Amino acid sequence: MVHHQHQPLDRIFGALTDPTRRALLARLAESDGLTVSELARPLPMSLPAVMKHLDVLEGAGLVARQKTGRTVTCRLVAAPLEDAMTWLQRYARFWEESLDRLAAALERKL
């Protein structure tokens, strides 16, 4: 059973599972905002397919879209990624402790 408090994280991690969506976020992270056409240009897929990926990213709160006339500009919203990083930090501590124990064991053997 999924708890209500985890739903935003579920959407964030779900959005990040797709390499196309990660590529879109990476491009947006390098800019102040790109139009949907600019985002779609280098991708080997149709504009409607790119729009579906942007829908998922927007649903996860990772992308904001602004329409000016017929042009839609997208920008990265990084705040939800901070929530994901906070969640992941708990496990980073586990791996750091495990690596510290391994390093100590190796030093004892030398």
Whole-number pLDDT of residue 5: 55
pLDDT in tens, 41-81: 999 999 999 999 999 999 999 999 999 999 999 999 999 99
| Domains parsed from the chain with CATH numbers | 4-77 (1.10.10.10)
Whole-number pLDDT of residue 6: 61
Give whole-number Cα distances, 91 to 41, 44, 48, in Å.
37, 36, 37
Percent of the chain whose predicted confidence (pLDDT) is above 90:
65
Whether the model pTM is above 0.85: no
66 by DSSP, 3-state: which? strand
Cα gap 39→51, rounded to integer Å: 10
Cα gap 28→40, rounded to integer Å: 12
Angle at 7 between CA 28 and CA 33, to 5 degrees: 10
